[in-house]
RNA sequence: GCGCGCGUAGCUCAAUUGGAUAGAGCGUCGGUCUCCGAAGCCGAAGGUUAUGGGUUCAACUCCCGUCGUGCGCACCA
């Protein structure tokens, strides 16, 4: 068990000894500012507040019952009631030593593994993937990788938009203005063109809009011609998706599009009606407020002119068609039946907050028993904005295509690699540029807090210096360079930690698991980015101050080599968890 | 109109959710390769966390007001 966990359980036991009735689940220990110690707990202060006790006195009582002598130096009570812990050097060394033996990599698998469906990426058929898709795809992929690493069972599901109103327009456009040659050259661009053109024509001509609707109805009724066209569009789109996902290194366990759930939509609505959860209104069917929530918190109510009026979640349109609320409910039904997940995580734009609020409440009413076992989570993220602070568009009015962004990233990286290593064979430079360029883009998207909107900038997205993936990859490559120069292999080296920078680095390595758990707990990959950036920084501090190959003696050299090897492993594992590759040289 | 967010250094963003002296990158200025990779490192300047109140041992974080700003408001997803 990692020292931090040992301290935590000892502390919880001590608190229970002093306050038998207290809930100790919030009694946590976390890494802290080195000037106070290695770990700290502030839990006693909030506990004292709840129970109206003197925090210093509580701390004194708890410390009297606390035995962490196996892992810590003397425990200090500081400030208003902080507990500061300082690790014994021998314990730190032992943790590193066991990691060096391959027993762990500073994290523990979850004690109670969960089954989690992660729903992410979700591009639309017949539309190009653009920069916006990097958010759902990158965050979702990093989260599913983190959950897997921690030992959970994950179902990565790409809920592709392959069924909906847009197909009415696409079918009409296909029949009227499709340019076959263009379709063969650039299928997605052509599909986008017919969609846009037809949409514009429908805006101008309502009769044409009706025609498009008719095409959709025919498709949904199984009309052979329309189904064939629709399938062709899907095949073309899937080629595009596959290319992008291959480049990004993103894999899904299943990719069940919206159309997959089509057969169940009718019965979902029927079921909702029978149970009295949904009712008819103005020819449509919707889920209405059940009055259990105060109006302000009730997503099924909206205030108009000072009065609360119904704002239902429609599950059947007045024309008899279904919409995405229906699909999402059917999808939940399928996922429950197929995987019995502990949680379903939706990595979707924050703008759909209202939709998910309605969806989750409807689910709880529809499947009350299941909703106790399966938690639905909307992992929302902010928008990508242009320089003007408005949702991102290029000058021509289109968003930047994801493929173009990746191309540019590799191009810029290639230029730098060629400058830095002109003697390297071109194929190798290309491969390094691919890893670095892609890493830069992914990391740039993962670094900010997911809920913040961020302003898109080519230079920031593709930056290769500063707090970027290449900085982390560089630290890794430097370590690899040391090992290329080191002669012979070092096995079971004894680790000694004496220099300040060695201790700082070693202690930070121990926090890898804490960080991974925080990422999984709050669905925030940026914690891992920051952790790795700090790790690379602390490694560099060590590297600048502590000679490895030219260490003063053999024992120090071997110990430092072991520390380097562990750092490289954590860097690589951490980057991999973010979906970012490493290179041996760059 | 109603609802939901956001406002932190010149710029772009963090701050593990109420913890001790708010941190990075970019940009600017200065230093640093005869010594394991300078995509690096060291230093300097830069802040009344929009604003006014409140809650408490402790507030960027919670509550109320104000200003600014973005998003969402049945039959698109």
Question: Cα–Cα distance between A382 and A129 in angstroms, integer?
Answer: 17
**DSSP 8-class letter at A161:** B
**Residue whose Cα is closest to the C1' of B17:** A522
**What is the per-residue pLDDT for A400?**
85
Question: Cα–Cα distance between A471 and A533 in angstroms, integer?
Answer: 8
**Residue whose Cα is closest to the C1' of B38:** A420
Which bases along strand B come within 7 Å of a protein CB atom? Answer: 1-6, 12-21, 24-26, 35-37, 39-42, 57-58, 69-77
Q: Is the pLDDT of residue A321 over 90?
A: no
Closest nucleotide to residue A282 (Cα to C1')?
B75
Categorize the per-residue pLDDT at A206 as very low, low, confident or very high, splitting at 50, 70 and 90.
confident
Distance A396 CA to B10 C1' (A): 30
Cβ within 7 Å of strand B: which of A 173-232? none
Cβ within 7 Å of strand B: which of A 118-177? 124, 161, 164-166
Asked whether residue A311, judged by its CB, lies under 7 Å from any atom of the DNA or RNA strand B, the reply is yes
Distance A140 CA to B46 C1' (A): 37
Q: What is the distance of C-alpha A327 from the center of its chain?
A: 24
Mean pLDDT computed over A265-293: 93
pLDDT in tens, A524-583: 999 999 999 999 999 999 999 999 999 999 999 999 999 999 999 999 999 999 999 999
Note whether A341 and A374 are within 8 A (CB).
yes
Domains of chain A, earliest start first: 3-87 (3.30.1360.70), 115-162+258-381 (3.40.50.620), 166-248 (no CATH), 402-577 (1.10.730.10)
Distance A270 CA to B5 C1' (A): 36
Closest nucleotide to residue A76 (Cα to C1')?
B20
Distance A527 CA to B49 C1' (A): 21
Categorize the per-residue pLDDT at A319 as very low, low, confident or very high, splitting at 50, 70 and 90.
confident
End-to-end CA gap in chain A: 36
**Residue whose Cα is closest to the C1' of B58:** A80
Cβ within 7 Å of strand B: which of A 43-72? 45-46, 49, 55
DSSP A442-460: HHHHHSS-TTS-EE--HHH
**What is the per-residue pLDDT for A278?**
94
Categorize the per-residue pLDDT at A330 as very low, low, confident or very high, splitting at 50, 70 and 90.
very high
Asked whether residue A485, judged by its CB, lies under 7 Å from any atom of the DNA or RNA strand B, the reply is yes
Closest nucleotide to residue A465 (Cα to C1')?
B39
Which has the closest alpha carbon to A392: A457, A295, A445, A339? Answer: A457
Note whether A442 and A580 are within 8 A (CB).
yes
Mean pLDDT computed over A501-515: 97
HSE, CB side, 13 Å, CA atoms: give it for residue A90.
5
pLDDT in tens, A363-409: 999 999 999 999 999 999 998 887 766 777 665 556 788 999 999 99
Which has the closest alpha carbon to A417: A473, A361, A498, A350? Answer: A473
Which has the closest alpha carbon to A167: A232, A108, A88, A87? Answer: A232
Pick A65 or A456 by higher pLDDT: A65
**Residue whose Cα is closest to the C1' of B37:** A478
Mean pLDDT computed over A197-223: 88
Q: Is the pLDDT of residue A491 over 60?
A: yes
**What is the per-residue pLDDT for A52?**
87
Mean pLDDT computed over A124-150: 95
**DSSP 8-class letter at A80:** T
Cβ within 7 Å of strand B: which of A 508-527? 514-515, 518, 522, 524, 526-527
Give A30's strand partners: A40
ipTM over 0.90: yes
HSE, CB side, 13 Å, CA atoms: give it for residue A73.
14
Helices and strands, counts by H and E, chain A: 22, 15
Cβ within 7 Å of strand B: which of A 247-306? 258, 281-284, 286, 296, 302-306
**What is the per-residue pLDDT for A489?**
65
Q: What ranges in A158-290 are assigned the alpha helix state H?
A: 166-177, 180-185, 187-204, 206-220, 224-248, 265-274
Question: Cα–Cα distance between A77 and A111 in angstroms, integer?
Answer: 31
What is the overall mean pLDDT for chain A? 93
Asked whether residue A533, judged by its CB, lies under 7 Å from any atom of the DNA or RNA strand B, the reply is yes
Give A378's strand partners: A346
**Residue whose Cα is closest to the C1' of B6:** A452
Asked whether residue A544, judged by its CB, lies under 7 Å from any atom of the DNA or RNA strand B, the reply is yes
Residue A59 has a CB neighbour count (10 Å cut-off) of 27
Cβ within 7 Å of strand B: which of A 350-389? 350-355, 383, 385, 389
Closest nucleotide to residue A79 (Cα to C1')?
B20
Asked whether residue A26, judged by its CB, lies under 7 Å from any atom of the DNA or RNA strand B, the reply is no
Closest nucleotide to residue A390 (Cα to C1')?
B70
Question: Cα–Cα distance between A134 and A142 in angstroms, integer?
Answer: 12
Q: Can you read off the two tokens belonging to residue A504?
A: 């700082």
**DSSP 8-class letter at A511:** T
Mean pLDDT computed over A179-186: 95
Distance A346 CA to B75 C1' (A): 24
**What is the per-residue pLDDT for A298?**
87
């Amino acid at each position: 068990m990692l020292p931090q966990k040992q301290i935590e359980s000892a502390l919880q036991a001590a608190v229970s000894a002093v306050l038998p009735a207290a809930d100790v689940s919030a009694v946590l220990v976390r890494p802290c500012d080195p000037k106070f110690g290695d770990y700290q707990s502030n839990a006693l202060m909030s506990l004292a507040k709840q129970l109206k006790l003197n925090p210093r006195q509580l701390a004194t009582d708890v410390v009297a019952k606390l035995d962490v002598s196996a892992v810590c130096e003397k425990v200090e009570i500081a400030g208003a009631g902080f507990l500061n812990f300082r690790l014994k050097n021998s314990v730190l060394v032992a943790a590193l030593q066991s990691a060096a033996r391959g027993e762990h990599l500073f994290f523990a698998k979850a004690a109670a593994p969960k089954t989690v469906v992660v729903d992410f990426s979700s591009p639309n058929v017949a539309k190009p993937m653009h920069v916006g898709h990097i958010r759902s795809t990158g965050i979702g992929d990093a989260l599913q990788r983190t959950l897997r690493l921690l030992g959970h069972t994950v179902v990565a599901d790409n809920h592709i938009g392959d069924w909906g109103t847009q197909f009415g327009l696409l079918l009409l456009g296909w029949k009227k203005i499709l340019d076959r040659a263009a379709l063969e050259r650039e299928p997605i661009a052509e599909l986008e063109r017919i969609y846009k053109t037809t949409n514009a024509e429908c805006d101008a001509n309502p009769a044409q809009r009706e025609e498009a609707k008719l095409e959709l109805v025919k498709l949904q009724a199984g009309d052979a011609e329309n189904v064939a066209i629709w399938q062709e569009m899907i095949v073309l789109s899937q080629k595009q998706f596959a290319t992008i996902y291959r480049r990004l290194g993103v894999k899904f366990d299943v990719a069940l599009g919206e159309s997959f759930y089509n057969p169940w939509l009718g019965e979902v609505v029927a079921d909702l009606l029978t149970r009295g959860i949904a009712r008819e209104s103005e020819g449509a069917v919707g889920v209405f407020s059940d009055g259990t929530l105060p109006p302000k918190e009730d997503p099924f109510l909206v205030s108009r002119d000072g009065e609360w009026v119904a704002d239902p979640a429609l599950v059947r349109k007045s024309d008899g068609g279904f919409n995405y609320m229906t699909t999402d409910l059917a999808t939940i039904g399928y996922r429950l039946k197929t995987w019995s997940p502990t949680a379903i995580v939706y990595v979707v734009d924050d703008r759909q907050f209202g939709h998910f609020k309605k969806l989750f409440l409807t689910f709880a009413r529809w499947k009350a028993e299941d909703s106790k076992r399966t938690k639905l989570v909307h992992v929302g993220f902010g928008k990508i904005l242009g320089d003007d602070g408005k949702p991102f568009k290029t000058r021509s009015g289109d968003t930047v295509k994801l493929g173009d962004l990746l191309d540019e990233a590799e191009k810029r990286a290639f230029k730098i690699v060629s400058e830095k290593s002109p003697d390297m064979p071109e194929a190798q430079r290309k491969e390094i540029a691919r890893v670095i360029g892609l890493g830069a883009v992914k990391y740039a998207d993962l670094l900010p807090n997911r809920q913040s909107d961020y302003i898109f900038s080519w230079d920031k997205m593709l930056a290769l210096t500063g707090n970027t993936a290449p900085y982390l990859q560089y630290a890794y490559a430097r370590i690899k360079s040391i090992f290329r120069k080191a002669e012979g292999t070092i096995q079971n080296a004894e680790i000694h930690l004496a220099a300040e920078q060695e201790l700082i680095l070693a202690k930070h390595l121990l926090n890898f698991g804490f960080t991974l758990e925080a990422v999984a707990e709050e669905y925030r990959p940026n914690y891992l980015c920051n952790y790795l950036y700090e790790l690379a920084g602390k490694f560099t501090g060590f590297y600048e101050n502590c000679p490895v190959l030219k260490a003063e003696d053999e024992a120090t050299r071997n110990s430092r080599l072991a520390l380097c090897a562990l750092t490289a492993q954590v860097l690589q594992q951490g980057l991999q968890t973010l979906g970012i590759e490493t290179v041996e040289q760059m």
